[in-house]
Structure 1
């Protein structure tokens, strides 16, 4: 066992990703007042230990401390709760509730695609989580099946969105210098690929990709090199798969609009998906069917999409940039160097 601060002990790794390793851990004493959840000795938790190069980056450490209050207050039934943050020497770690179920990527790999009804209702819950985070000014920026954990309760699987704030914390010059990138090309919004500002609309695009994958087993822009995938996000329109009902395709297509201003808000997306889920099932009545067929009217864009709070960042050599400045090393060229 390995200690994390004075309050936690790492027991076994649960998974590794681009930004760090998630461990099953045990609390050995009650957390202090700075934690969102004090916990009890012997309680089992999950701890994400960020990679050493992140912990050694002074900019990331400062962001980590600055984001503490945001991450600790972000609570929702479909969001994995962050209980505590640990900063100690060269170690940065997030202490979270432990979800014993698989992530959605693994579940799809082992069980195959979902039915359109199940995919609609599951994604509606994810949209609920996004709506809550966007209302608090938090953009996830890395929505994909691997960041959705499935919690089994009363015989049902509840999606739990995790890794909030990781992309934001790790999007720094230090990470660029290590030639890493936080994000997966198959799930990246066009504006992200071009280095344009990333509002909450990037999460809606990610939800559209995820929804497509839930019913087909693969994301719409997959295959080839990372650079080729990014070009497809920018220039291709996905075709409607034969097994996707028209109302559900209307939702997917609207989420995947290249123009972020044309994508629905998370609140409207959740409402639309529940309408579709009710109207495409075998037991749907005429009123539910009609509502699903008219789902496009529910998919209004967000008039004021959430955006990351202003903060000074630098891109390579040269003067600092602030949000709104044209990217100096952005776009696909920068992606190609990072991937």
Structure 2
């Protein structure tokens, strides 16, 4: 049941539910929000595309060519984990080289100026933290940590990668990939023979092979303690700004619903449509870098 629900979530198409706001009106509304302070920012994959990380649902998004693995597949099918780690071992190099872009840096500035309370990000790339943002809740986790599904032991991804490299000498030299083909969850398409050749390593604590990046997969629940942190950040915020997300999955969409229920202003800046956009105060449909260049 959870697996099928996860598939439906991936396949959700967010269509227009309301027209864009007049651009001048949207710009003025967002600027007024920022000037008033206490703005909570929710970010999606559109924030990191300028860092070379593709999005999921855009016109050239990875869902056009790739279906992410569900939690149920990863948890209960060893061959699925083997496939993920072979592909992730190669794709991680591209993700680890990604650097914050001007959007990440602008959010750091707004935090320092007291305009925003913090960031709830749906991204797992760690770029907000790398840019210098202090109050970041990565609702879907972070690729920089690996966790054992058997005992819960966690390991830094770079240390884990050193172990993989020792177990797979010469493997990377046999692989040629297009950096643009790396998926937002950090893996890349590989032929089956390379997947079969990949040597997985075990948990340092319990010797299990059931190791998983510490991210929330489709079909997996957000940890309760993370939900509590999100609720606390929402409670101290008086406006919501959504950047580069369609809010297609519930973790982000619920934040919008909470602000609508509290009758607080909601602004959306995205090139595409957003789930629940008819409830937003302002819908500014422009590229993020264009919008942010017009805001102070």
Whether the TM-score (by the shorter chain) exceeds 0.5 is: no
Q: Which has the higher contact order (CA 8 A, sep 6+)?
A: 2
TM-score, normalization: structure 1? 0.25
TM-score, normalization: structure 2? 0.28
